[in-house]
Amino acid sequence: MTKQTSFCQTLSNLQHGYSLQELDQLLTEALQASQDTGKVSKVSVTLTIKPNGAGTYKITDDIKSTLPKFEKEATLLFTDGEQQLVREDPRQQKLKLEQVQSSGPIDLKGIPADSKPLIKPLN
């Protein structure tokens, strides 16, 4: 009966333990990315095992991760008459807005509950 080879022990031997440290780091990043985005992360390890003669092997690891990203929202831009991109629609009229100085907080307690609104409906 053949004794089982320990995958964990083999990983800890690869690159003098650096491969295992890299996997730990990628796993941590994958968990955080999945938590942040609510999407799937992937971490994969591929071992290439090549006989080297006399009971020795050359083992090369390839460690990869696929982390989810937040979806980027599209930016809506307009073109002016000269095909230049601008943020504001050049066809829309601009409003002349002015800053109004506040005279302090409004006391709503002094307004009777049964008072009529000051705004007249359009007919």
With CA atoms as reference, report the closest residue to 23 among 33, 36, 37, 12.
12
- pTM given for the model: 0.58
Average pLDDT over residues 46-70: 94
CB atoms within 10 A of CB 58: 9
- Over range 45-67, report the average pLDDT: 95
Domain ranges of the chain: 7-66
Select from 86, 4, 68, 2 the least CA-distant residue to 30: 68
Residue pLDDT, tens place only, 89-116: 888 888 888 888 877 777 777 677 676 6
Q: What are phi and psi of 10, to 5 degrees?
A: -65, -45
- What confidence score (pLDDT) does residue 61 get? 96
Mean pLDDT (whole number) for 23-39 = 96
Do 19 and 47 touch, CB atoms closer than 8 A? no
